[in-house]
Structure 1
Amino acid sequence: IASVVKDMESELGPGNAYPDLLPKLARFELALMRFYEANLGSRKHGVFANKCWPAFENAFGFVPCYVNSRMAGKGIPISCEVDIYGALSEYICQLATDRPATLLDINNTVPPDMTAEIKDMAGAAPADLFMGFHCGNTPCCHLERCAIKYQLIMHRLMEDPSKPPDITRGTLEGRLKPGPATFFRLQGTTDNKLTSYAAEGSILDVDPRSFGAIGVFAIPNFARFYRHVLIGKRFPHHGAVAFAHAGKALFDAVKLLGVDDINTPKPAGVLYEGENPFE
């Protein structure tokens, strides 16, 4: 436990806001690693799809986000909220880029007062911008000035918000480093088929002005893609993020898996199935 705590301290640096919490987190990380090693069987690699809230906090006394981020950094993705296909999608992104991946919510649009300050939208329109967010499962290597903090929303719901956080501590927060990125997901449908999407874009050098592990994403033609593919085909709000332009490798990978329905953003003037041509 002491050696894991020391490694956490080194990784967090000045972002180590809760030194007293690290031994608990280290114990949990070691338990996960032992479970992983004991249950691989004949396999060489594995992933986790864990339930991270709300029962976890009352049972363990912290949130698992920072430990999840460290496991992802070791090449063992842990998806949030028991998202099995999310964990698999993260792992595929990791293999496509040879770098740790993460899982983020396609969370919200970017308000006009922020878009007005963005000089380069990397080929996207203001309507295509969105914030990719999660509580704190993204590895430190992809964050600027990462810090261990607490889950703001859980603190309001699960604790007395007038008191300092306790069981809701343990997120890893920071702004995503700007650069190329690919949102990707492999998903099973209700009629037992596999479907997928891949959308290349950029993480912008913009302050999201919010909490969590978060960044502003610019994916050209994403607004229509979101409406007609992600919503139209009932994809979950979780997406795996590869920190590179990995569309070519991801497309080939899901083709090899036998997936026929592979979705990508269409340029203006090229309609999606069912899209109204008079809009």
Structure 2
Amino acid sequence: MKKVRLGFAPTRRSIFSAPDAIKYANLTRERLTALGIEFVDITDINEEGLFYDELDREKIAEKFRQEKIDGLFFPHCNFGTEYVVARLAKELNVPVLLWGPRDERPDEKGIRLRDSQCGLFATGKVLRRFQVPFTYLTNCRLEDAEFEKGIKNFLAVCNVVKTFRHTRILQIAPRPFDFWSTMCNEGELLERFNIQLSPIPMPELTAAVRKAKEEKEEVAAVVKYCRETMNIKIKDEELESVAALKVAMKKLAESYGCNAIAIQCWNALQTEIGIMPCAANSLLNQEGIPVVCETDIHGAITSLLVEASTLDDTRSFFADWTVRHPDNENGELLQHCGPWPLSVAKEKPTIGYPLAFEHPGAVEAEAKHGDMTLCRFDGDNGEYSLLLGHAKGIEGPYTKGTYVWVEVENLNRLEEKLVYGPYIHHCVGIHKDVVPVLYEACKYINVKPDLYDPIEEEVKASIRGEIR
């Protein structure tokens, strides 16, 4: 599981109790430590270890930059100083979490020591003035389940934002001619999101495959792994080509500094090396390097976002929306030739032949059932959005390739969104509910969240930590 580092800047205001603010800052430190949260503290900045003075802001900003924090956490340990919070948040440009500990009842003289909730209202307004997006964790106690849930959701949001802002995709050859739906605007992705492409021609890949075969050792290790984990129904030399392709793609991704791959999986590749790339894609997907088909750049971005939302501890699968379930009005077949990672399968996968092509090298396996998130990043005409929602795996007829039948709340409503777009027939699924995390991350990456079911209030409640 990927570690996310928070900048911890508890804040107070001078007219309320400084000792009580210090007390709650220390209690919050203890709770974060108990939860295993990695954070950068400011106890070396001033004696109180609190953020309320403009003179401390530059020191804190410099420390947080050096420590490469992924998000900012501002516990309002009494009212808080909203303008220094906003200035620091604006300067560092990372996701921001606001929270304050639940205020106690006034004492017998009617005195209140903190007014933390009131300070949250003030800071929220000032952050809006500074045009700083932020996340709100409900005003709860440190021991409440809402606190743990909200903090962990926010860590995942930070990971999604960090991944999105540092994405470079290895593009292996141009899209297949017939796939006009997978075209993308490379310049716009760079200008708007800093998403970079590293395009290479097919001969560069085939040369890397030949080199991998010549060096043998890594290819032999992959062949051994395949024989241990999958049923093999292709020839020995074909399995060697699968392994060499996997090794070659991984080395090219590392060479170009890429965290995902989009490959023109047919049909030039088959002419050059005689196999489908699906099994090689599956092997890389299992290692956490998303590889998507038909040079679908937006699909690769989707895969990265979805896996980042789990702190990279769960593998996703890249699929086609294909046909409706023959017996379930809200059922749909998600399928592809065989690029899904092994951990998705509910049975031992087979390397064989795909549904629509004659060349070997596809994986066959039904995916596990259970609850899932389905997602698609896409855009056209200068507008980008993230389609997302829930599904569950169900029983359905056997089909070739990697596949799973899923049920959604209202397939007609989802189908309408897919047809009207900006989406296409590709999506990414994952066996986890990451809808709230992805929804919240959209505010930081300037992408519109698009829920295909009317669950927005439920999603917002989850992000602010509510337990339902």
Rg larger in structure: 2
Answer yes or no: is 1:39 the counterpart of 2:240.
no
Aligned-residue offset at 1:223: 1.9
Query: Residues of 2 paired with 1:225 and 1:27: CA distance?
Result: 39
In 1, Cα distance between equivalents of 2:440 and 2:330 = 26
Q: Are 2:441 and 1:253 aligned?
A: yes
Matched residue, 2:242: 25
Residues 352 and 363, structure 2, Cα contact 8 Å, conserved in 1: yes
1:266 Cα deviation after fit: 3.1
Equivalent position to 1:199, from 364, 384, 389: 389
Aligned 1:86-165 pairs, distance under 5 A: 86-97=299-310, 98-111=313-326, 115=327, 126-143=328-345, 144-155=347-358
* Aligned partner letter, 2:240: P
Q: Share of identical aligned residues, percent?
A: 24
Pairwise CA distance, 1:36: 1.4
- In the TM superposition, residue 19 of structure 1 has moved relative to its aligned partner by 4.7
Query: How far apart, in 2, do the equivalents of 1:19 and 1:9 lie?
Result: 12
Q: Which segment drifts farther, 58-67 or 230-239?
A: 230-239
- Report if the CA contact (8 A) 2:292-2:299 is conserved: yes
Matches within 5 A, 1:180-199: 180-189=371-380, 191-199=381-389
Q: TM-score, normalised by structure 1?
A: 0.80
Partners of 2:376 and 2:448 lie apart in 1 by 14
CA distance in 2, matches of 1:146, 1:185: 26
> How far has the Cα of 1:222 moved from its partner?
2.5
One-letter code of the match for 1:128? N
Whether contact under 8 Å (2:413, 2:452) holds in the other structure is no
Provide the residue aligned with 1:80 in structure 2. Answer: 293
Deviation readout 1:61-88 (Å, 9 max, x if unpaired): 1000001011011110011000000011
- Compute the displacement of 1:130 (Å): 0.3
Say whether 1:216 aligns with 2:405: yes
Which amino acid counterpart does residue 199 of structure 1 have in structure 2? G
Question: Residues 183-217 of structure 1: CA distance to partner in whole angstroms, max 9, x if unpaired?
Answer: 1011121x11211210111112x143211101110
| Kept after mapping to 1: 8 A contact 2:379/2:423 | no
1:201, 1:243 → 2: CA distance? Answer: 9
Give the corresponding residue for 1:3: 221
Mapped partners of 1:86, 1:250: distance in 2: 15
CA distance in structure 2 between the aligned counterparts of 1:264 and 1:2, rounded to whole angstroms = 45
Partners of 2:301 and 2:449 lie apart in 1 by 17
Measured in 2, the distance between the counterparts of 1:149 and 1:252 equals 41
Per-residue CA shift, 1:4-23, capped at 9, x if unaligned?
Answer: 111111121xx111251221
Which residue is 1:60 aligned to? 273
Q: Does the CA-based 8 Å contact 2:378-2:422 persist in structure 1?
A: no
Query: Separation in 2 of the partners of 1:52 and 1:139?
Result: 17
Where structure 1 has 5 or more consecutive residues not aligned to the other structure, the ranges are 116-125, 156-167, 268-279
Residues 13-66 of structure 1, C-alpha deviation per residue, up to 9 Å, x if partnerless? xx11125122111111111111111111xxxx6101110001111111100000
Q: Which amino acid aligns with 2:319?
A: L
Alignment TM-score, normalising by the size of structure 2: 0.48
Per-residue CA distance 1:164-201 (angstroms, 9 max, x = gap): xxxx1000011111111111011121x11211210111
Deviation, 1:262, is: 2.2
Supply the AA of the counterpart residue of 1:23: E
Task: Tell me if structure 2 keeps the 8 A contact 1:109–1:127.
Answer: yes
Deviation at 1:234, TM superposition (A): 3.7
Who is 1:170 aligned against? Answer: 361
Are 1:239 and 2:427 counterparts? yes
Letter in 2 for 1:17: K
Aligned partners of 1:200 and 1:246 also within 8 Å: no
- How many residue pairs were aligned? 233
Tell me, yes or no, if the aligned pair for 2:439 and 2:449 is still in contact at 8 Å. Answer: no
RMSD across aligned positions (CA): 1.5
Unaligned runs of 5+ in 2: 1-218, 456-468
Per residue, is there more helix in 1 or in 2?
A: 2
Q: Provide the C-alpha distance between the structure 1 equivalents of 2:270 and 2:246, rounded to a whole number of angstroms.
A: 15
> Which contiguous aligned blocks of 4+ residues in structure 1 show a shift greater than 6 angstroms?
none
Amino acid in the other structure paired with 1:108: V
Deviation at 1:256, TM superposition (A): 1.7
Preserved contact between residue 319 and residue 335 of structure 2 (Cα < 8 Å): yes
**How many angstroms apart in 1 are the aligned matches of 2:401 and 2:247?**
24
